[in-house]
Amino acid sequence: MIFLKKLHNGFYALNMTFQASPLSAILYVILIIIEALSSTAGMTLATADFVNTATEILLRGFSKYLIYKPLINLLLLLGIINTVGTFISLTRSSIKRNIQCKFSPMITKKLSSLEFKHIESKDSWELISRVSDNTITLLMEVYDAFMSLLKIIIYIISVLGIIMAYVWWAAILIFLFSAPLMWLSVRAGRRNYQATKESEVYNRRVKYLEDVITGKGNIEERTLFGYGNYVSDKWQEQYEKGRKYRLKVSARHLLLTRGSSLGLNVIIVLVALTLINPVISGYLSSGMYMGLIGAIIGVLHYMGWDMARSLETIANANEFMKEFKKYLELDESEGALRKPDVEPIVFSSLEFRGVSFKYPSDKKYILKNLSFRLESGKNYAFVGKNGAGKTTITKLMTGLYKEYEGEILLNGKELREYSAGTLKATFSIIYQDFSKYYVSLKDNIVIGDISGSELDRRICEVIDDAGLKDIVVKLKNGTNTLLGRVKEDGQDLSGGEWQRVAIARSLISRAPIKIMDEPTAALDPISENQLYTKLRRLMEGKTTVFISHRLGSTKLADKILVIEDGHILESGTHNELIAAKGQYSEMFEAQRSWYS
């Protein structure tokens, strides 16, 4: 019972495969039954007939033509086994394709619908990556494992049935030995899985270090700092740790499964010895003896190795399926897959009223009783040191996190009451680590307003406004040129050029509130200042929120909010804050040299 309970999740996985590909899965079962019966009972009887006839021809001088019938039977049987084997491979491919067609979109859809907190949390992100990377392979492995078990069970029943008819105790002995073997295999499977999970930590680090050593992104720094060897040593160290860990687990596992299959080999010898007597006394023909010994060796081979591996795979699946269920239970964000509304709302105000917030994974409050109001058509600047909570404010504003205390009111209505589509159409954001899409320049921009009209004209406008005109002239196929080096004809852009593409994307968006979260951090303070001034001009009439820890670039804002440790320390225009001689004025003086 306990054994079956342990395999419960394995059956869940099997059921998933049957649902994804019912016809092929059933056909596969039928083919496996035919193959298993032909290669055990069929082969034993055909071999017995062939050997007995050959013996009679040799010893008793029977006509040699009598051998044709058993020989043809034997060849026919081999032909059947081979043909069925080919059909089994074809059916397996069809099952795999069906699993892929059904579950890949489902996993991707779930991934796109997840609440943002799961994407940001390290633990759930690991679970998400494990499930999305391994589900298809695992479902196929589990199905294969169950089919392998089915084959073994048919082998065992048919061979044990024949042996039972002659030497009943040998059949019982084999059966008794297989029970502890099954138990050992399930245990080994569980340990192996846990170890693989733990060794993933090493794998991830190794993968990251590999990227640092060989990746294109770090090439300049790697050359300049010459840290290649240093990171290489670290890579070696992590790789060795992971390797030794896996080796230890594999060695123990091998010992368990190989040790038990050695025991089964002893049984072969015992059975072979025991069956000799019935042969001598005429209960068992010599042909049947040979057929049976061949079949027993086959069965024990499967029991000692394939069965251990299949049970282990199913036990692995047991653990994995628990994770898969956990993945399916992760909260989904309502309307995550919704497109932004075609027509954005007419924005009048956005107000934070006594908002406090902590990340779900943390106990510490990041925002503390925060209150401010943004009004339509004005420029706001959130300034403050790194870690003060500025980006967190934007995540709340845009509805990525909903577990805040206090109220966030958009046009006087609680933000949580708006649909995801409306919120998506209300905000456009450029982050410091803005996305670089390796598609055409045109598509890179259009993503900013997928449901918009007159796109060609507007693309030309924003290309002008974002200062991309000179870049377009240099591109081989103009705006249709693929960006990035993923494809051969793709053209890479410099950091600053990519930045302008991100700005063009934000400019084309019809969202009434534009948020810029340090998108110019890669620029020097003077260039940042110039770009901000230009952006402000381009976005005239829109509500803009600029976030920066550099004050020179934000001094033209209608209102500056100085954030510290999750609350507003002071707010006002640049002149008001300078006159107040508070922290803003101090920070501005400290940074003055950057701009002179």
- Residues of the shown chain interacting with ligand ADP in the complex, contacts defined by CB under 6 A: 120, 359, 361-362, 366, 384, 386-392
Question: Which tokens is 579 given?
Answer: 């006159």
Beta strands at 543-548 and 567-572: parallel, antiparallel or unpaired: unpaired
Burial (CB count within 10 angstroms: exposed 0-12, middle 13-18, buried 19+), residue 116: middle
Of 34 and 561, which has the nearer Cβ to ligand ADP? Answer: 561
Q: Which residues pair with 560 in a beta bridge?
A: 381, 572
Nearest to 345, CA basis, from 273, 423, 242, 436: 423
Shortest spacing between CB 545 and ligand ADP, in angstroms: 12
Of 463 and 577, which has the nearer Cβ to ligand ADP? Answer: 577
Of 96 and 549, which has the nearer Cβ to ligand ADP? Answer: 549
Of 120 and 407, which has the nearer Cβ to ligand ADP? Answer: 120
∠ CA 339-340-343, nearest 5°, is 130
Shortest spacing between CB 125 and ligand ADP, in angstroms: 10
Of 120 and 210, which has the nearer Cβ to ligand ADP? Answer: 120
Of 79 and 387, which has the nearer Cβ to ligand ADP? Answer: 387
Distances (CA, A) of 493 to 310, 482, 488, 537: 51, 11, 14, 25
Shortest spacing between CB 384 and ligand ADP, in angstroms: 6
Shortest spacing between CB 130 and ligand ADP, in angstroms: 20
- Give the E-state strand segments of 160-254 in sequence order: none
DSSP 443-473: HHHHGGGTT-SSHHHHHHHHHHHTT-HHHHH
Which amino acid makes up residue 338?
R
Nearest to 559, CA basis, from 284, 349, 325, 288: 349
Distance separating the N- and C-terminal Cα atoms of the chain? 80
Shortest spacing between CB 120 and ligand ADP, in angstroms: 4
Of 139 and 545, which has the nearer Cβ to ligand ADP? Answer: 545
Shortest spacing between CB 576 and ligand ADP, in angstroms: 22
Question: Which tokens is 26 given?
Answer: 């059933």
Nearest to 547, CA basis, from 595, 513, 581, 577: 513
Question: Which tokens is 359 given?
Answer: 């990340």
Read off the DSSP letter of residue 596.
-
Of 313 and 392, which has the nearer Cβ to ligand ADP? Answer: 392
Shortest spacing between CB 364 and ligand ADP, in angstroms: 8
Shortest spacing between CB 359 and ligand ADP, in angstroms: 4
Tell me how far apart the alpha carbons of residues 29 and 17 are, in angstroms, rounded to a whole number.
Answer: 12
